[in-house]
Amino acid sequence: MTIRGLALRYGLRLGVLATALGLWQGLSAVGVIRADEFPSMTQTASALWDQARTATLWTAIGQTLEGWAIGLAIGAAAALVVGTLIALNAFAYHSVIGVIEFFKAIPVIAILPIGLVLWGATLTMKFALVAFAVFWPLAIQVCYGVRSVDPVVRDTASVLRLRGPRKFALVIMPSAAPFIATGLRVAVAVALIVDIIAELIGGGSGVGVRILIAENAGPSAYPVMYAYIVVAGVLGVLLAGAFTVAERYVLHWHESQRSAAGDKQIYPERTEVTLAASLSPGRWPGAHPGVAVRRPARRVVGVVGWLEVAVFPAA
Amino acid sequence: MWWVWSAGSRSLYFPPLESIVKALWTQWVTGPARAELASSLEHLVAGYAIASALGIGIGMALWSLRYAREATSPYLYFLYVLPAPVLVPAAMTLFGIGFSMKVVLIAFAAVWPTLLNTLDGMRGVDAVKLDTSKVLGLPRWRNALQVVLPAAGPQIVAGLRNSLQVAIILMVVSEWEASTDGIGYYIVSAQQSFDYVGMWSGIIVLAIIGIVANLLFVVAEDRVLHWHYGARAVEGGAR
Instruction: Please judge whether A110 and B172 are an interchain contact, meaning their C-beta atoms are less than 8 angstroms apart.
Output: yes
Res. B30 pLDDT band, cuts 50 70 90: low
The total number of structural domains in chain B stands at: 1
- pLDDT of B24: 67
Chain B CB contacts of A118 under 8 Å are 13
Q: Is residue B122 part of a domain?
A: yes
Instruction: Please judge whether A105 and B74 are an interchain contact, meaning their C-beta atoms are less than 8 angstroms apart.
Output: no
Mean pLDDT computed over A137-144 = 84
Mean pLDDT computed over A190-201 = 83
Is residue A147 over pLDDT 50?
A: yes
- pLDDT of A34: 67
Question: What's chain B's average pLDDT?
Answer: 74
Least confident residue range of A58-62, A236-240, B28-32, B33-37: B28-32
pLDDT tens digit string along A34-92?
666 677 777 777 777 877 778 777 877 888 888 888 888 998 888 888 888 888 777 77
- pLDDT of A32: 66
Instruction: Please judge whether A196 and B85 are an interchain contact, meaning their C-beta atoms are less than 8 angstroms apart.
Output: yes
- A-proximal residues of B, 47-106, CB under 8 Å: 67, 70-79, 81-90, 92-94
- pLDDT of A174: 80
> Which CATH number characterizes residue B175's domain?
1.10.3720.10
- CA dist., res. A285 & res. A66, Å (int): 30
Least confident residue range of A53-67, A200-214, A241-255, B19-33: B19-33
- Kindly state the DSSP code that residue A37 receives in the 8-state scheme: T
Mean pLDDT computed over A102-122 = 77
- pLDDT of B228: 66
- Which of the two residues, A1 and A36, has the higher pLDDT score? A36
Mean pLDDT computed over A95-111 = 77
Mean pLDDT computed over B18-41 = 70
Res. B237 pLDDT band, cuts 50 70 90: very low
Res. B155 pLDDT band, cuts 50 70 90: confident
Is residue B73 over pLDDT 60?
A: yes
Nearest CA in chain B to A120: B191
Looking at chain A, the whole-number percentage of residues with pLDDT higher than 70 is 75
**Which of A37, A114, A228 is closest, CB to CB, to B93?**
A37
Tell me the CA distances in angstroms from A229 to A167, A196, B88, B157, one per residue in order: 47, 11, 10, 29
Chain A CB contacts of B209 under 8 Å are 107
Domain boundaries, chain A: 49-259, 274-315
- CA dist., res. A21 & res. B170, Å (int): 27
- pLDDT of A315: 42
Q: Is residue B114 part of a domain?
A: yes
- pLDDT of A262: 44
The CA-based dihedral angle spanning residues A25, A30, A35, A38, taken in that order and rounded to the nearest 10 degrees = -50
Is residue A171 over pLDDT 60?
A: yes
Is residue A215 over pLDDT 70?
A: yes
Question: In what helix (H) or strand (E) does residue A272 lie, and over which residues does it extend?
Answer: none
pLDDT tens digit string along A256-300?
555 444 444 444 444 455 555 555 444 444 444 444 455 566 666
Instruction: Please judge whether B85 and A208 are an interchain contact, meaning their C-beta atoms are less than 8 angstroms apart.
Output: yes
pLDDT tens digit string along B100-140?
778 888 888 888 888 888 887 777 777 777 777 777 777 77
Q: Is residue B135 part of a domain?
A: yes
Q: Which amino acid is at B231?
A: A
- CA dist., res. A64 & res. A235, Å (int): 10
Range with top average pLDDT, A2-11, A125-134, B71-80, B182-191 = A125-134
Question: Please, what is the Cα angle at B196 between B193 and B198, to 5 degrees?
Answer: 85
Q: Is residue B232 part of a domain?
A: no
- pLDDT of A298: 62
Res. B221 pLDDT band, cuts 50 70 90: confident
CB B28 within 8 A of CB B173: no
CB B109 within 8 A of CB B163: no
Nearest CA in chain B to A16: B71
Instruction: Please judge whether A232 and B86 are an interchain contact, meaning their C-beta atoms are less than 8 angstroms apart.
Output: yes
Instruction: Please judge whether A37 and B86 are an interchain contact, meaning their C-beta atoms are less than 8 angstroms apart.
Output: no
The correct answer on CATH 3.40.50.1860 for the domain covering A49-259 is no
Chain B CB contacts of A16 under 8 Å are 71-72, 75
Nearest CA in chain A to B14: A114
- CA dist., res. A37 & res. B94, Å (int): 6
Res. A111 pLDDT band, cuts 50 70 90: confident
- CA dist., res. A195 & res. A115, Å (int): 12
- pLDDT of A297: 63
- pLDDT of B152: 74
Tell me the CA distances in angstroms from A122 to A118, A296, B13, one per residue in order: 10, 47, 17
Which residues, in sequence order, are CB contacts of B13 under 8 Å at separation 6+?
Answer: A114, A117, A118, B196
CB A241: neighbour CB atoms within 10 A?
Answer: 20
B123: exposed, middle or buried (C-beta count within 10 Å: 0-12, 13-18, 19+)?
Answer: middle
Mean pLDDT computed over A183-193 = 84
Tell me the CA distances in angstroms from A41 to A28, B46, B80, one per residue in order: 8, 31, 21
Q: Is residue B223 part of a domain?
A: no
Q: What is the 3-state secondary structure (H, E, C) of chain B?
A: CHHHHHHCCCCCCCCCHHHHHHHHHHHHHCCCHHHHHHHHHHHHHHHHHHHHHHHHHHHHHHHHCHHHHHHHHHHHHHHHHCCHHHHHHHHHHHHCCCHHHHHHHHHHHHHHHHHHHHHHHHHCCCHHHHHHHHHCCCCHHHHHHHHHHHHCHHHHHHHHHHHHHHHHHHHHHHHHHCCCCCHHHHHHHHHHCCCHHHHHHHHHHHHHHHHHHHHHHHHHHHHHCHHHHHHHHHHHHHC
Is residue B239 over pLDDT 50?
A: no
CB B43: neighbour CB atoms within 10 A?
Answer: 28
Residue B191, chain A, CB below 8 Å: the answer is yes
CB A143 within 8 A of CB A93: yes
- Which of the two residues, B22 and A172, has the higher pLDDT score? A172
Domain limits for position B86: 33-195
pLDDT tens digit string along B83-103?
777 777 777 777 777 777 788
Is residue A143 over pLDDT 50?
A: yes
Residue B187, chain A, CB below 8 Å: the answer is yes
Which of B65, B86, B122 to probe the A interface (max A CBs under 10 A)? Answer: B86
Least confident residue range of A126-135, A295-304, B154-163: A295-304
Rounded to two decimals, the pTM is: 0.75
Q: How far is A38 from chain B (nearest CA, A)?
A: 7
Is residue A234 over pLDDT 70?
A: yes
Nearest CA in chain B to A38: B94
A82: exposed, middle or buried (C-beta count within 10 Å: 0-12, 13-18, 19+)?
Answer: middle
Q: Which amino acid is at A271?
A: T
Res. A310 pLDDT band, cuts 50 70 90: low
Which residues, in sequence order, are CB contacts of B58 under 8 Å at separation 6+?
Answer: B111, B115
CA dihedral (A207, A208, A214, A219) positive or negative? positive
Question: What's chain A's average pLDDT?
Answer: 74
Instruction: Please judge whether B169 and A17 are an interchain contact, meaning their C-beta atoms are less than 8 angstroms apart.
Output: no
Res. A15 pLDDT band, cuts 50 70 90: confident
Is residue A105 over pLDDT 80?
A: no
Nearest CA in chain A to B176: A201
CA nearest to A282, candidates A256, A300, A270, A257: A300
Mean pLDDT computed over A186-204 = 82
Which of B75, B81, B117 to probe the A interface (max A CBs under 10 A)? Answer: B81
Instruction: Please judge whether B169 and A192 are an interchain contact, meaning their C-beta atoms are less than 8 angstroms apart.
Output: no
